[in-house]
């Protein structure tokens, strides 16, 4: 599916089979002699086929296409390796570029995450199953890319569009959005989503991700924006209203964590079932293991935020970590 958002700016829907996100919004900007594509889809045939069909309809020439990737998740950058031409510039934030270079050099971030999750109550067996099924492993970027690093405030000009990079860390450590002040559009990746809330998870290399996320929400809410071009599902037309809803969502979730810990000391796995999750499973036991993994990470981000604020305290007993109210 292709939607013309503005002259020379298109939204292309890339299906994400079996993902609750349903589809990725890839954006294509037609410049004078080159195109810019923002985000790509998973590295899998269903995405490649949908992308190829749309590019053909739009007359996009991949040998004259550059890329901007909002963040490292595989539904945004996995397909890049299949579609980026040899001379394509791939604009990407430094923090996540370093992480990807390190991965290609053999550094395993996953082992660290696995260790943290297990210390916080996730069983070794389900942790391993989750990792095997994790989209990053199955549909991630397989080819090495030489990124062109962009920083907060950098300008990207394509045809009539004049974008400014806006660092919006939180959903991921280096997440970056694009803002065109004249057109009043914000290409927001997974920083702002409508009808679902962006997953804010624990990162071994980002302290208090929720704190960073809430600060990034404040930051974009000050921008003059008519349309937020989201990374998934529907677009947002009321940015400040949506920001308030997202802030409220996290406040409520923090209260749920406080209530759960007020009821007695718990590890993260024991805390997670006390949070209301927007998923079709009726009980925590019915959660597919992959969704448990995401819910676990989200719970941990909220607990760590409360710990940072001095409201909860962690206890480490021979490598097993629990939390109680401070
Ligand atoms: Zn993402």
How large a percentage of the chain has pLDDT more than 90?
Answer: 84
- Compute, in angstroms, the gap from residue 30 CA to the centroid of ligand 1: 25
Banded pLDDT at 131 (limits 50, 70, 90): confident
Q: Report the 3 state secondary structure along the chain.
A: CEEEEECCEEEEEEECCCCCCCEEEEEEEECCCCEEEECCCCCCHHHHHHHHHHHHHHCCCHHHEEEECCCCCHHHHCCHHHHCCCCCCEEEEHHHHHHHHHHHCCCCHHHHHHHHHHHCCCCHHHHHHHHHHCHHHHHCCCCCCCCEEECCCCEEEECCEEEEEEECCCCCCCCEEEEECCCCEEEEECCCCCCCCCCCCCECCECCHHHHHHHHHHHHHCCCCCEEEECECCCECCHHHHHHHHHHHHHHHHHHHHHHHHCCCECHHHHHHHCCCCCCCCCHHHCCHHHHHHHHHHHHHHHHHHHHCCCEEEEEECCEEEEEEC
- Compute, in angstroms, the gap from residue 266 CA to the centroid of ligand 1: 28
What are 145-168's pLDDT values in tens digits? 999 999 999 999 999 999 999 999
- Compute, in angstroms, the gap from residue 188 CA to the centroid of ligand 1: 11
- Asked if the model's pLDDT at residue 128 lies above 90, the reply is no
- Compute, in angstroms, the gap from residue 268 CA to the centroid of ligand 1: 22
- Compute, in angstroms, the gap from residue 189 CA to the centroid of ligand 1: 7
Mean pLDDT for 22-48 is 97
The reported pLDDT for the residue numbered 132 is 82
Confidence (pTM): 0.95
Banded pLDDT at 284 (limits 50, 70, 90): confident
Banded pLDDT at 229 (limits 50, 70, 90): very high
Mean pLDDT for 176-180 is 98
What are 71-120's pLDDT values in tens digits? 999 999 999 999 999 999 999 999 999 999 998 888 888 888 999 999 99
């Amino acid at each position: 599916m292709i939607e013309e958002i503005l002259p020379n700016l298109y939204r292309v829907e890339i299906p994400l089979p079996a993902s609750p996100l349903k589809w990725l919004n890839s954006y294509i900007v037609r410049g004078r002699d080159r195109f810019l594509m923002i985000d790509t889809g998973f590295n899998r045939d269903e995405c490649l086929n949908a992308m190829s069909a749309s590019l053909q309809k739009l007359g996009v020439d991949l040998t004259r296409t550059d890329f901007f990737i909002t963040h490292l998740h595989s539904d945004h950058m996995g397909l890049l390796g299949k579609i980026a031409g040899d001379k394509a510039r791939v604009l990407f934030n430094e923090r996540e570029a370093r992480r990807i270079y390190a991965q290609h050099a053999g550094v395993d971030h996953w082992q660290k995450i696995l260790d943290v999750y297990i210390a916080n109550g996730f069983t070794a067996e389900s942790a391993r199953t989750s990792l095997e099924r994790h989209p990053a492993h199955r549909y991630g970027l397989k080819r090495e890319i030489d990124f062109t690093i962009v920083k907060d405030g950098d300008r990207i000009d394509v045809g009539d569009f004049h974008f400014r990079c806006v660092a919006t860390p939180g959903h991921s450590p280096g997440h970056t959005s694009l803002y065109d002040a004249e057109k009043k559009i914000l290409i927001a990746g997974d920083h702002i989503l409508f009808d679902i809330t962006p997953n804010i998870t624990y990162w071994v290399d980002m302290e208090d991700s929720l704190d960073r996320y809430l600060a990034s929400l404040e930051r974009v809410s000050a921008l003059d924006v008519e349309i937020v071009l989201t990374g998934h599902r529907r677009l947002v037309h009321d940015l400040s209203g949506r920001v308030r809803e997202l802030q409220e969502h996290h406040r409520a979730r923090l209260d749920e964590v406080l209530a759960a810990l007020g009821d007695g000391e718990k590890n993260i796995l024991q805390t997670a079932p006390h949070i209301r999750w927007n998923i079709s499973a009726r009980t925590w036991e019915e959660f597919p293991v992959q969704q448990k993994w995401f819910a676990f990470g989200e719970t941990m981000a909220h607990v760590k935020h409360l710990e940072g604020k001095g409201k909860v305290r962690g206890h480490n007993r021979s490598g097993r970590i629990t939390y109680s109210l401070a």
